[in-house]
Copies of this chain bind each other. A is one copy, B any other.
Amino acid sequence: MTAEPPRLKHFGWGREGEEASPAERAAARARYAKLFGTDQFADLRPPPLAALRLPEARLRPPQALAAFCTDALYDRAAHTYGKSYPDTVRGLAGDYQDAPDLVAYPPSEEAVADLLAFAADRRAAVIPFGGGSSVVGGVTPVGLRARYPGVIALDLSRLARVRRIDPVSRAAEIEAGIFGPALEAALKPSGLTLRHFPQSFAYSTLGGWIATRSGGHFATLFTHIDEMVESLRLITPAGPVETRRLPASGAGPQPERLFIGSEGILGVITRAFLRLHPRPRFRAGGAVLFPDFFAAARAVRDLLQAGLYPANCRILDEAEAAHTGAGDGRTAVMVLGFESADHPVEAAMARALECCAAHGGRLEPDSGPRAGAAERWRTAFIRMPYLREHTVGWGVIADTFETAITWDRFEAFHQQVMEATERAIRTVTGRPGLVSCRFTHAYPDGPAPYYSFHALGAGEPHRLLEQWAAIKGAASEALLAAGGTITHHHAVGRDHRPWYDRERPPLFAQALAAAKRTLDPAGLLNPGVLIDPLPA
């Protein structure tokens, strides 16, 4: 039995005691000073927890629920925001006007059902909450206090056991509130692993991954959590839903698929059977350097269309590679890796390198799966989210957005998105910023490009928010106009609604709303996410 980890910070990334080191902050500051041509940054700092002023807590749970509910300051503050850019700006400004009235930590499915019944009785909105790592406003109850007489954050963290491991089928029944590290630790003795490592791995939960169609470790083939879900169980206001545990079925529309990606609006995912992998024993990989990003992209396409399915196949454009220390700014980098628990993967790696060579890609000297550019990029990837709570305070507008597009449209798409985002940064902030791109996942018919942007805003929080919204909006418009999706694995939440509403077929939205009315007749579950809230 390991010690309980410290609680999550009420503001910022990670658990209490974790943050970017002074050296990491200095390096980030130096990068920004060089990028923006100034070392004059704002110095906004978040108020300490004790200084926060939260609106009145309006809900008092009955005796039976009181044992797992609280309206303590830490709990309400820590459940007010996710980890989006606006969340960070507003948290930094000490704006907690949307704080939930109550935070519930149900210890059982029965308690979840009781809590939903209580919410229905009080007409209170309920926000299912896993790790709170949403970067799209998925757990942020914006404006709900005015519409609902109560707002409850339903935190799943006490439903966190691996209930059963089936080594024969290589699957496990796992409760939804478990965090990534605890999940892998519980699986470890069996030799099995879920191998789903989103950037938020340490601070996000299985239920959150399923609710948001999280994208993980595998760059190809098993990209989203969707493919790993063998069955699932939810508690909805109308009762429980449990799908049958099966390797596959053809019986009607797949029931799991209605709930995978439902972002908390249809029910509370409480557990699931997940398909597992054996731990890899054979590995081959390294960093491949390309003359430019499109050459690297064409190599990715060839690789995938050759029927090679590397576990890792990320490419970084010149700017992304330079910004993360993985490259020198003159080459694009592919982080390539094959793995297997069963057989050597050198032949696949060799063929993949041939595909790369055909587009001018050459293996970095002394390269390996955990060395060189690949490892430098990996470290930057893991550490990056810790920086935001500092960089926002400097007045930096830094965010990411991601999408997917078929190969035939990719190059024109990419140019349009880059130009629209760069133009918006110049227009909005008055000076150029940095926009960079990588591929997080790839498919035989197209890539999933992931964009990062950095701009220097005016320092006041409300100005930062406005400016962020203008840049984000311009980028999102470009994504949609050029044929992409508003999200490949960050989900929709509240922030992507305007573009999601245009991307999805209108009649599908009506069908989804009808399904919601069946399962959540009072419209209490995560209102505003995916579809409009019903009138309170």
Which A residues lie at the B interface, using CB under 8 A?
Answer: 166, 168-171, 212-215, 223-224, 226, 230, 236, 238-255, 257-263, 266, 275, 278, 301, 305-308, 340-343, 347, 351, 404-408, 441, 443-448, 483-492, 496, 500, 503-505, 507-508, 510-515, 517-519, 530
Nearest-Cβ distance from residue A179 to partner chain B, whole angstroms:
20
Whether the pair A407, B168 counts as a contact (CB closer than 8 A) is: yes
Q: Which of B239, B248, B505 contacts A448 (CB 8 A)?
A: B248
Nearest-Cβ distance from residue A59 to partner chain B, whole angstroms:
27
Cα separation A487 to B249 with both chains bound (whole Å): 6
Contact A252 to B447, CB < 8 A, known contacts A238-B507, A307-B341: no
Nearest-Cβ distance from residue A3 to partner chain B, whole angstroms:
34
- Besides A224-B250, A243-B505, A250-B489, 5 more A-B contacts (Cβ < 8 Å) are A168-B407, A226-B254, A247-B447, A249-B485, A250-B487
Residues of B within 8 A of A351 (CB): 342-343
Residues of B within 8 A of A170 (CB): 305, 444-445
Contact A485 to B171, CB < 8 A, known contacts A241-B508, A515-B511: no
Whether the pair A168, B224 counts as a contact (CB closer than 8 A) is: no
The residue of chain B having its C-beta at the shortest distance from the C-beta of A517 within the complex is B514
Cα separation A347 to B348 with both chains bound (whole Å): 11
Residues of B within 8 A of A242 (CB): 505
Contact A255 to B518, CB < 8 A, known contacts A169-B445, A248-B488, A249-B487: no
Contact A446 to B247, CB < 8 A, known contacts A340-B307, A342-B351: yes
Cα separation A443 to B230 with both chains bound (whole Å): 11
Most buried by B among A223, A262, A407, A445: A445
The residue of chain B having its C-beta at the shortest distance from the C-beta of A347 within the complex is B347
Nearest-Cβ distance from residue A293 to partner chain B, whole angstroms:
17
Cα separation A531 to B151 with both chains bound (whole Å): 36
Residues of B within 8 A of A444 (CB): 169-170, 247, 275
Whether the pair B255, A504 counts as a contact (CB closer than 8 A) is: yes
Most buried by B among A250, A341, A406, A507: A250
Whether the pair A171, B246 counts as a contact (CB closer than 8 A) is: no
Whether the pair B246, A252 counts as a contact (CB closer than 8 A) is: no
Nearest-Cβ distance from residue A210 to partner chain B, whole angstroms:
11
Residues of B within 8 A of A213 (CB): 250
The residue of chain B having its C-beta at the shortest distance from the C-beta of A258 within the complex is B253
Nearest-Cβ distance from residue A173 to partner chain B, whole angstroms:
11
